[in-house]
Amino acid sequence: MASTLEAPAAVEPAAPPRPARRGPVRKVAGQAAALLRRTAAIVALLAVWELAPRAGLVDRTFLPPLSEIVPALWELARDGRLWSNTEASLTRSLTGFALAIVVAVPLGLLIGWYRPVAELLGPLLELFRNTAAIALLPVFILILGIGETSKVAIVLYACTWPILLNTISAVRTVDPTLVKAARSLGLPVPRIFQKVVLPAAVPTVFTGIRLAGATAVLVMIVAEMVGAKEGLGHLINASQQNFAIQDMYAGIIAISVIGLLFNHLLVLIERRFTRGQASVRR
């Protein structure tokens, strides 16, 4: 009787092990560690602020501990002075900031795209870009008065330059290969500008807008210190003159928080407009 040989069964390759899922505890721990890394420097600064006056390293008359500033900040918020002054400052700074965007972005696109316009306006831009906005504040007050118009105008002037210069640079640094490819496809100039130049220029334009956002707050505070009856700059200046040191530092903290929130809002808007493009490290 002939013996039959059975073929060995094929051995299936073992499936690669699945990576272990991170448990919720490890996920929360990772998020907490990331938050700690981002806030460690701020926490250290606040700790130094609290401990240095108490240890006698600085005169607590002129730099009170943070624990004495927080009640003053709460009192300003409770009696409404913080909100009324903040509203006045934000109204002025946001108005000038918005007008700067409306003026500087189209002008920057025009100068960056058309060389004759750049050659015509270039010397004038170089003259004014090197003139500090704060140095021109007395001129704005003399011409426009001490009211709201001069304050909005100085913010407009100061915010125009970072937006304008970054917009010009954004248009001029667009990859020429992309422009040549669009022209080879027969696209008209307006379509090339819309489909190629503008999308490539958006990240750099927003860099200028974010710089202008910080400038708007700082210039507004200085302008309010010179001549204003309300605003965070007026609050800080009046508190310093009346030797209300806690209120002065409370106003400074309020300005820092507003600047931080404003910058974060601009980052969110930038991500919305640059979605789908290569992410830029900040």
Segment among 25-39, 135-149, 157-171, 186-200 with least mean pLDDT: 25-39
* Distances 187 to 192, 195, 222 between C-alpha atoms, Å: 6, 10, 49
Please list the residue range(s) of the chain that carry CATH number 1.10.3720.10: 66-273
| Topology (CATH level 3) of domain 66-273 | MetI-like fold (1.10.3720)
Tens of pLDDT, residues 103-156: 999 998 888 888 888 888 888 888 888 778 888 888 888 888 888 888 899 999
* pTM of structure: 0.78
